[in-house]
Copies of this chain bind each other. A is one copy, B any other.
Amino acid sequence: MAGHRIAVVGATGAAGEMTLRILEERKFPVRELRAFASERSVGKSVTFAGDSIRVEKVTPEAFRGVEIAFFSAGTAQSKEHAPLAVRAGAVVVDKSNAFRMDPAVPLVVPEINAHAVKGHQGIVASPNCTTVVTVMALAPLHRAARVTRVVATSYQAVSGAGVRGVEELRAQTLAWARGEAITPSFFPHQIAFNLIPAIDRFGPDGYTGEEMKLVNETRKILDAPALRVAPTTVRVPVFTSHSISVTAETEVKITAARARDLFERFPGLKLWDDPAQQRYPMPIAVEGQDDCFVGRIREDLSSPNGLSFWVVGDQLRKGAATNAVQIAELLARS
């Protein structure tokens, strides 16, 4: 029988659900699919390729026979249960923050560092969603002229915080439409018609966890440990797709024309850069697409070898599930 034995852990969450959809869309060869989730979701079912699949609880024996296990259930879950899957002989594709910076774990964006998968010891990590979208645009510049410094400022959709983030923006906006008071329950402040310039916990230096992921993961994926990154991450009242405004400096100057050419040739990246036609990437235009989109390309007015641009990606797809399934495709091929 052709195909692989697959498990999706966190199958009832936004990222797990999207993983099921992407496996179908990309016709990933699946012989058997098993769905895992937390205790309170056990008994529910998910749909895969027309079949209804009952959600199971993770147990020490749960992963017996599984070849590839997608983990999208959060960092604590991955830390606890990924080792069980590895011990059972599965390769874990982990979407959480649990192992990304572990030197023994490859952190992979297949268009950029597919080769890194080879060294895995049972776990391959998929980067944080904002990192994936940003690094997709940095990679072709880095290959051509080595990126030395990046100032990256994000505009992050509520679905990046999961289903509850989406519900909160929806509920607050509907309350506004009815003329009712808005009460935050999930995000620390109102998100409808507002901006929250803080995602994840703060470190002692004033940077958030989300910001440090962007710094450290970008360095690891590009294999550029000395790359200097200035990160700012901000939650915006957008449902889906993360946008990042980037100013990047390279060792050798890249003109805007050359950058357009490099972006256009890079797999997984699409160029939308036609100001005369008011054409540039926007969240609502990018939602539902697997590629990342780059536009507003211009030579930096503030540094001799700088380049500014705007990159947008559906963070549930390329920022999460699509990237994870692409990693599984690499594993299936090797």
Interface residues of A (CB under 8 A from B): 149-151, 153, 155, 169, 173-174, 176-177, 188-190, 193-198, 202, 205-207, 215, 228-232, 234, 236-239, 243, 245, 247, 256, 275-276, 278, 280-285, 295-303, 306, 308, 310
Q: A208 to chain B: closest CB distance in Å?
A: 8
Question: Cβ of B232 and Cβ of A308 under 8 Å apart?
Answer: yes
Residues on the B chain within 8 Å of A280, using CB: 197-198
> How far is it, in angstroms, between the C-alpha of A151 and the C-alpha of B197 when the chains are bound?
17
Copies in the complex: 2
Question: Cβ of A306 and Cβ of B243 under 8 Å apart?
Answer: no
Residues on the B chain within 8 Å of A153, using CB: 153, 232, 245
A-B contact list, 6 entries, CB within 8 Å:
A190-B284, A193-B239, A195-B236, A195-B282, A197-B243, A237-B237
Known: A153-B153, A205-B299, A234-B243; 14 extra A-B contacts, CB below 8 A, are A149-B303, A153-B232, A190-B284, A193-B238, A194-B282, A196-B282, A197-B280, A197-B282, A206-B296, A206-B297, A228-B301, A229-B301, A229-B302, A232-B247
Q: A257 to chain B: closest CB distance in Å?
A: 11
Residues on the B chain within 8 Å of A230, using CB: 151, 247, 300-303, 306, 308
